[in-house]
Structure 1
Amino acid sequence: MAERNSQHTKRNHYVPQFYMRQFALDDDRTKVKCLSRHAPYVSVGVKSIARIGYEEDLYTFSVAGSKASIEDDLNQTIETPIVNSDTWKKIVAGEPDRLDQSDKLTLYLLMRHLQFRNIENLRFIEQEAAHARDFGFRDDYSEDEREMYAALSRTAAGPPSYFLSMAVNMQQFALHWDRASIAVIRSRVPLRSSTNPTLVIPRKLGHITLLEELEAGAFCYWLPLSPHFGVMLTMSHRFNDFVHQELPDDAARVFNRLYLGQLLEMPSTRHCFADDPEIEGDLQWADFDRFDGTGDRGRYKREVRHTG
């Protein structure tokens, strides 16, 4: 349990720094090249890992007038065991071919944890609770979801409290473990990631063997682990596999553009880790033209395209 602490950490990283260092510069492992959103601009430059992917007091709550934080719980019970695992050592060494069935559980838990501790998850919970309060339940809510969002919508503290409980709870993922398939996937095209790194992959994209025969209702998630490889998690009643695959170049470019779209369309995603030769072309594809700067640093602004 989190303890009361007047010296609680204020800068709470919702994407762990150990993950972001996988995309760090070769000559400075404390910095990463990224696209950053500063409306109406998107800038390309280098950022300090310590200064991105955080929100002040995100993991802080009040108990009888005193502030407490789950930050220590996250560090001690989740982050440190992952970093010290044989699985993460293989990843840091850049040896994805050594990942095997024994690493499946760690990879699964890492992907799910990064998704549930992210600030985007909090924003989603807040949005759904507000919808339930102001407009009623969505038609596709289950009875359990109706009961949950009814409770969360009653007070302003409901969504953040629920978010904190999800962020620190690893046991919740055991429920769907028997449906999990993991594919370790290499890429020739340099991969991007972001401060919201676990990406939902639309099944209609195809390109990946695990997506070819999925039933309706199956989910696919993508997590780059370095610019050269990543893992795909498929939640399906038909599969429970661990495989190695190569990512087709066109699929890698689609995944990279999905991260750019995430940066442009999701307010909680503020930085996209990108160090590849297709950045400028993809920004132009998204109707952004260079506003200032030279070389691999600069600002881009979306322009209205007139046709006809």
Structure 2
Amino acid sequence: MSVFNVLLIALLQGLTELFPVSSLGHAVVLPALLHLHINQHARDFLPFLVVLHVGTLLALLAYFWRVWLGIAWGVLRGRRAGDAENYRRLAGMLVLGTLPAIILGFALEKPLRVLFGEPWVAALFLIVNGGMLLLGERLRRRAVGSAASTTQDEHLDGLRWLDALIIGVWQCLAFIPGLSRSGATMVGGLRRGLNHAQAARFSFLLGAPVITGAAVLEIPKLLHARGAHHAPLGLMLLAGAVAGLTALFSTWFLMRYFRRHEQAALNPFAWYCIGFGALALLLLRA
């Protein structure tokens, strides 16, 4: 890939990974629409995307550093160490929420890889993603009524073990390009009674172990495949940094947004996905 293509995808990754609009769907559709001549069927395309996800992982670790430090402290310290028990409980829920993705990822890795290079599939599921977000908001409004609070408490003290597992199952939808991991987990969180800020917080925290697992599996493949048709290592590192910085901004913006918006907060992202997905399908068929 050219320098322009690598940095464009890195910027795109950082801007869309945490927004509920599917970064993978955009990474598959946009190159096809812009005729960037990226071989999305190549063995090293998915590992390259994982390198960009590592940049996102570093952004999540940086933004939630107090939480991750608390989890590490809680795991290492005894039960009498202040909030250690709460942090251990949160750590356990993150592990439980990650298990469905690990199991399904191993079981369906090969058939799912076929979808990664099909722009029309990603465009179609972007529309489905928009419908999922709209449905999630509609069902939540029915459950809580129209008098939902406009202020948001993002603490996860009320999250139950079953909630974490079910949200983890929702996360598995993101194996399909066009379906957003953050969108699916947020809808899952809303369906389990969380507000938008809580759902976003747990979704973003849950992204860290998933991205870490993908990186452990795919980066060695990327290093093994690196050759004449692959970006130099320095450019790869620059791309990861670009993705990380833009992801850090995205995290800050979204947490601020979801703290201030409770009514139909996912709707703007839903209509964007539906509109962009429909336009992409028309252009790809033209």
* Normalised-by-shorter TM-score class: under 0.3
Which of the pair is proportionally richer in strand?
1
TM-score by length of 1: 0.24
> Between Structure 1 and Structure 2, whose CA radius of gyration is higher?
1
Q: Which fold has the larger relative contact order, with Cα–Cα distance below 8 Å and residues 6 or more apart in sequence?
A: 2
Which of the pair is proportionally richer in helix?
2
